[in-house]
Amino acid sequence: MGVEEEFVLADAVTREAALVAEAVVEAAGRLAGDGHVVGEMALAQLETVSGVCSDARQLRTEVMRLRRCAARAARDSGCLLVACGTAPLGDPGPPPILDKPRYHAIATRFGTLVDQQCANACHVHVGVPDLEEAVQVVNHLRPWMPLLLALTANSPFCGGRDTEHASWRAMLWGRWPTAGPPPYLRSVDHYEQVVAALVDSGAAVDPAMLYWSVRPSRHVPTVEVRVADVLPDTEDTVAYALLVRAMVAAALTDVREGRPALPVEDTVLRAATWRAARDGMSGQALTLHLPGPHRNIPVWHLAEALMGHVQGHLRTAGDFDTVRRWLSRLRRHGTGAARQRAVYVRTERLEDVVDALAVAGPAHQGAGQVGCTVPS
């Protein structure tokens, strides 16, 4: 498995979005190693890219290392590295965007859709080498995507205001014509036909612009789950990634044992995704994982159903306690969105929200924490 995390850069004085990604990415790349810190669409944004990890300890070490390298580079440029799905303060757009031909092509074709696209997600890759199996795994995972969004919602504030959503990133990202839930894919051939049609239509510049919430990766042999906001801290990210890996393992078991995925309607999935983006874990959710008519249940009941579905795979991998503790913390303290709002209620300052989400660099590490050494 591997993890990609996107972050917003905020000025250390004003806490507003800082358009300095190019310098920070270059500096962070020297600390973290080639390809581990890259630019994204907006100049107030960067992405960390983990190496391939096999267990929770390795993943935790890698995620912490990359966060600290990027935070140190940001600090050296007068910025904070902020683990938030959107920029709480300031304006990260309109362009300039990162100066690469592909991004310029996207800006030319899609115009003002590029504005405000400092949308910071957490992407989890899980190895599934066979493409036919990967396509079928996507079918099994798609009904669970709204729940994963609800669990990871971490962007209630944007541009200085409360959006009244738990994940405004999901709403911003959902404007793209290829974003949102994937279709139910009958086969690899069907998948390739859909990809080709989207590119031919102009809705995607290339196949990498399929911004589905879960998809077979186009550049590595994985299933990539893309629905989550970037999470507040390392432990959140690790536990979430372990949950995703168990979900993929459970889906692979279903595929190999001939159990078909439920063909949930695209429009219903989109409605459930919006509900998750608005409410996070505080409301109701549709029972998309069950056959028959969908009904609303408390979203935490749905989370318990998911844990029941994957607990065997979590226990086999030794990850059950880590994921259970994470869900218990969410139940007690709320999602990232709820915790952001709690900070604002106490202080009435979005600057304090930004500070609460800032990733600590190596200067702040304590005993046992990982610095920016590039692994040999």
Q: Is 201 exposed, middle or buried (0-12, 13-18, 19+ CB in 10 A)?
A: exposed
Is residue 134 within 8 A of residue 128, CB to CB? The reply is yes
Q: Rounded to a whole number, what is the largest CA-CA distance in the chain? A: 57
Stretch (H or E) spanning 225: strand 222-229
* Statement to judge: residues 176 and 261 lie in one domain: yes
* Statement to judge: residues 58 and 162 lie in one domain: no
- CA dist., res. 356 & res. 340, Å (int): 8
> What does the pLDDT read at residue 366?
37
* Statement to judge: residues 187 and 109 lie in one domain: no
**Domain-located, residue 370:** no
* Statement to judge: residues 148 and 280 lie in one domain: yes
* Statement to judge: residues 95 and 195 lie in one domain: no
Distance of CA 70 to CAs 73, 121, 143, 359, 376, Å?
5, 16, 34, 9, 19
Is residue 72 within 8 A of residue 92, CB to CB? The reply is no
**Domain-located, residue 123:** no
- pTM, entire model: 0.95
CB-based contacts of 94, cutoff 8 Å, min separation 6:
112, 114, 115, 116
> What does the pLDDT read at residue 363?
52
* Statement to judge: residues 103 and 178 lie in one domain: no
> What does the pLDDT read at residue 246?
98
Strand partners, 212: 180
Cis omega (within 30 of 0) for bond into 94? yes
pLDDT band at residue 376 under the 50/70/90 scheme: very low
pLDDT band at residue 367 under the 50/70/90 scheme: very low
**Domain-located, residue 44:** yes
Sign of CA dihedral 108, 109, 115, 121: negative
* Statement to judge: residues 65 and 187 lie in one domain: no
- CA dist., res. 49 & res. 26, Å (int): 14
Tokens (6 digits) for 202: 């102009």
Nearest to 212 by CA among 141, 109, 290, 126: 141
Least confident range from 71-75, 89-93, 281-285: namely 89-93
Query: What are 309-342's pLDDT values in tens digits?
Result: 999 999 999 999 999 999 999 999 999 999 999 9
Tokens (6 digits) for 156: 């209630």
pLDDT band at residue 99 under the 50/70/90 scheme: confident
Amino acid in position 236: D
Sign of CA dihedral 26, 28, 34, 35: negative
Q: Which domain holds residue 50?
A: 1-118
Query: What are 116-173's pLDDT values in tens digits?
Result: 778 999 999 999 999 999 999 999 999 999 999 999 999 999 999 999 999 999 999 9
